[in-house]
Structure formats: C-alpha cells, structure tokens
C-alpha cells in the first residue's frame, strides 16, 4: 500500500516536473546570486566614491573661503567634481534598480518542485507516517 502511495505521488508530481528545464534554472539562480553580490560590492564602491567627492568639495569650499584657491579655479574644479559626483549617483541609482528587478517566479516554483521531489524520495518515512495516519482516520 505504501509503495502505491509513493508511486501515485511521483506520478502526480511528474506531470508538473520537466527535468530538462531544471539545469538552466539552477544556473540562472547561481548567476543571479553572483550578480546580487557583485551589484552590492559595486554599490558600496560607488557610495564610497560619492562620499570622497563630497568631502573633496567641502574641502575645496573651505580652501576658497580661506583664500587658498582663486574663484576661477574653484569654479572650474567645482563643476568637474560636481559632474563626476552626479555621474556616480546615476550609476548607483541604476544598480539599485537592477537589484530591485522582479524575481523569476516560474524558476522559483520549479526549484521548489525539484526540492520537493528530492525530499520526497529521502523522507519516505514521513510519507509512510502520513499514509498510516490517513488509513487510521479513513473509517471516521
């Protein structure tokens, strides 16, 4: 009886499982994880550069107020650093949007299905216990 139930579970699940699709999905999951880690590192690097440029701007402003830099030099350097900082902020914003992209629901579903199929074979005792419990309550 227990083998029949396991066979039926496999049969039902097999109709929804396409094993040929699983390797590309697994590769995509690995790529997405690597992409997320890479994006996080890039975002931190960009944030550090933005902070450094802001600090540089503050220091240049103080130097200008103290008369160490002429107004013309200050304006020239200020415009370049400000433009560089804007470019970095745009890059950071683009990376943040990439991270927020929606997750592939179908891929996740297939992964969960594969995990279920794998665990169904390894946790036979659990299934047998569920079947026995069902047999006990069947008469009620």
With a pLDDT cut of 70, the percent of the chain lying above it is 56
Q: What's the total number of domains in the chain?
A: 1
64 assigned to some structural domain: yes
Q: Residue 18 has what pLDDT?
A: 65
Residue 101 main-chain phi, psi, to 5 deg: -60, 145
Over residues 30-42, the pLDDT tens digits come to 776 666 677 788 8
77 assigned to some structural domain: yes
Which domain, by its residues, includes 91? 30-115
Through-space distance between the first and last CA atoms of the chain, rounded to whole angstroms: 19
10 assigned to some structural domain: no
Query: pTM score > 0.85 for this model?
Result: no
Over residues 44-100, the pLDDT tens digits come to 999 999 999 999 999 989 988 999 989 988 898 889 998 999 999 998 998 888 777
106 assigned to some structural domain: yes
Q: 43 with 92: CB under 8 angstroms?
A: yes
């Amino acid at each position: 009886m227990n083998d029949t139930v396991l066979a039926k579970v496999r049969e039902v699940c097999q109709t929804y499982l396409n094993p040929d699709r699983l390797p590309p999905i697994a590769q995509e999951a690995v790529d997405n994880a690597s992409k997320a880690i890479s994006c996080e590192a890039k975002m931190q690097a960009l944030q550090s550069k933005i902070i450094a440029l802001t600090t540089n701007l503050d220091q240049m402003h103080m130097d200008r107020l103290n008369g160490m830099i002429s107004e013309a030099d200050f304006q020239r350097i200020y415009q370049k650093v400000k433009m560089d900082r804007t470019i970095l902020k745009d890059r950071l914003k683009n990376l943040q949007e990439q991270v927020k992209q929606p997750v592939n629901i179908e891929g996740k579903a297939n992964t969960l299905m594969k995990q279920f199929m794998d665990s169904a074979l390894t946790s036979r005792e659990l299934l047998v216990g569920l079947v026995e419990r069902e047999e006990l309550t069947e008469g009620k």
